[in-house]
Amino acid sequence: MPDPMFFILYVDQPQRSAGFYAKLLGRAPVESSPTFALFVLPSGLKLGLWSKHTVEPAATNAAQALGGGAELVFALDSREAVEAAHAAWRQEGLRILQAPTAMDFGYTFVALDPDEHRLRVYVQENE
């Protein structure tokens, strides 16, 4: 079985979410319509933003239907980079769910996108 190369977040307003992710990722979507937007990242991974109101078959679990329920993870190479990302995202007005903290897997913080999907930034630290 091949590795996944594409994931989709169900969102309330795809165009609003596409604007948010365009700014966050520093790139425009390669596809955009009123109900869907698609980003292709340098790694080849694709991020789709699909209207939770038009997804077929309809979203049935609470997290899918209400929004949120997913976590995107951004790996950085130092604590300083994590701190800088945290400061930049706070300045941009992102809601911070978890301030930078040391956890068993590394140093991390969590912000939320407009649909309350978690955006985790971390650096792996070995002790």
- pLDDT tens, residue by residue, 77-119: 999 999 999 999 999 999 999 999 999 999 999 999 999 899 9
Find all residues with CB under 8 Å of 122, minimum gap 6, and list them. 73, 74, 75, 76, 82, 103, 105, 106, 107, 108, 109
| C-alpha 87 chain-centroid distance | 17
Task: Provide CATH 3.10.180.10 ranges for the chain.
Answer: 68-127
What CATH number does domain 1-64 carry, 3.40.718.10, 3.30.1360.10, 3.30.720.120, 3.10.450.50? Answer: 3.30.720.120
Q: Give the tokens for residue 85.
A: 């990302």
Q: How confident is the model at residue 123 (pLDDT cuts 50, 70, 90)?
A: very high
Task: Provide CATH 3.30.720.120 ranges for the chain.
Answer: 1-64
Q: Among 3, 5, 16, which Cα is nearest to 115's?
A: 16
Q: Which CATH superfamily is domain 68-127 in?
A: 2,3-Dihydroxybiphenyl 1,2-Dioxygenase, domain 1 (3.10.180.10)
Poorest-confidence range of 57-61, 67-71, 117-121? 57-61
pLDDT at res. 70: 84
In this structure, is the dihedral angle defined by the CA atoms of residues 40, 43, 49 and 55, taken in order, positive or negative? positive
Per-residue DSSP letter, 9: E
Pairing of strands 46-51, 71-75: unpaired
If one compares 62 and 41, the residue with the highest pLDDT of the two is 41
Average pLDDT over residues 45-50: 94
Q: How confident is the model at residue 67 (pLDDT cuts 50, 70, 90)?
A: low
| Residue whose pair of structure tokens reads 């991974």 in the numeric block | 45
